[in-house]
Each structure stands twice: as C-alpha cells, then as structure tokens.
Amino acid sequence: MTIIEPSSEETVPEGFQRSDRGPFSSYNGPLYNKDTADGRVHGFRVLKRHCNGHGILHGGMMMAFMDGVLAHAVWEKVGGSILTLRMNSDFVAIGRPNDWVEGRADVTKVAKSVVYVRGALSVGHRTIMKANGVFKVMRRRARRD
C-alpha cells in the first residue's frame, strides 16, 4: 500500500479548513475542522508519521487528537481556559494509512468547576475510538500584590 503525504488541500474532504491549534497539534497534523448544523467536526488524514511499527494509526495519535476534539466541545460550551483532568478511551477498531478520521464530541454535564464530555472518532461509518473526558474550568484568580 502506498502511503500519501498530502501536499495540497485536494486530499481533504470538502468544507474542511486547516486548524491551527498550537505547536503540538501543528507538528502532529495537519488537522482540519468544519462547522455543521450538528456542531464542529474535526478531521485528519492518516499519514505515515501517524502510524506505529505495525503500519496502523498509533493509539497515541488517536488519544491526542481526541483530547483536542473533547476540549473544543467544552470550550464552545463554557469558554475560557480549560484543562483536561481525565480522559478514558476505548479503542474500537484500527485506522489505516490514507484513512480520513473524523471526531465529534458532546458535552454531557456542566458542573460548577468541571465539565463532562464524550466523543468518538470514526472512519466513514466505522467507529474507531470512543472516549469520555472531564475538564476543569479555570477561573482567574485575583492578583495579590
């Protein structure tokens, strides 16, 4: 199987725009997103650098991508600074080179200082990962002089 390394937007499904989430995600990307009536969809094309020694999508890449998917859903709900407290992941199936992976998430509960969220990664109609997360909502502290 030939593994492609995209050099243009032609390898990205219609409607997706490049996402700049900072140095870590830029290095591990490219990552994309698009807004739909059902919320934001995140995506990336599985490249050679996203694969493990067996030539399949690395679980660490899936987890890092899912953390961003979950965090974005929380950020849209509450705004401001948030931190991941916990993320539980279930690997359901494998991703292969050249697959287009999409991620979606929904906030399930907003408490005083934490937010609960769940999400899934899929390739087409096939779920490859499910996750639940808990995020801390950071409040600005008054400065003490």
* CATH code, domain with 42: 3.10.129.10
Q: Which amino acid is located at 46 in the chain? A: V
- Reference 75, options 117, 44, 131, 25; nearest CA is 117
The answer as to whether 84 is a domain residue is: yes
Two tokens, residue 65: 């991508």
Range of the domain at 44: 16-137
Each residue's pLDDT tens digit, 2-17: 444 545 445 899 999 9
Give dist(CA 88, CA 105) in Å, integer: 14
- Over residues 42-85, the pLDDT tens digits come to 999 999 999 999 999 999 999 999 999 999 999 999 988 999 99
User: Are the CB atoms for 41 and 20 separated by under 8 Å?
Assistant: no
Which among 138, 42, 22, 25 has a CA at the least distance from the CA of 83? 138
pLDDT of residue 139: 81
In a domain, 26, yes or no: yes
Read off the tokens for 68.
């961003």
* 100 in any annotated domain: yes
Q: Is residue 9 part of a domain?
A: no
Is the residue at 8 inside a domain? no
How many structural domains comprise the chain? 1
Asked if residue 143 is part of any domain, the answer here is no
Rounded CA separation 66/130 (Å): 9
Question: Residue 38 pLDDT > 50, yes or no?
Answer: yes
Q: What is d(CA 118, CA 54) in angstroms, rounded to the nearest whole number?
A: 28
Residue 67: inside a domain: yes
Whether 145 maps to a domain, the answer reads no
Which residues are CB-contacts of 70 (< 8 A; sequence separation ≥ 6)? 84, 87, 105, 117, 118, 119, 131, 133, 135
- Chain position carrying tokens 């990552």: 31
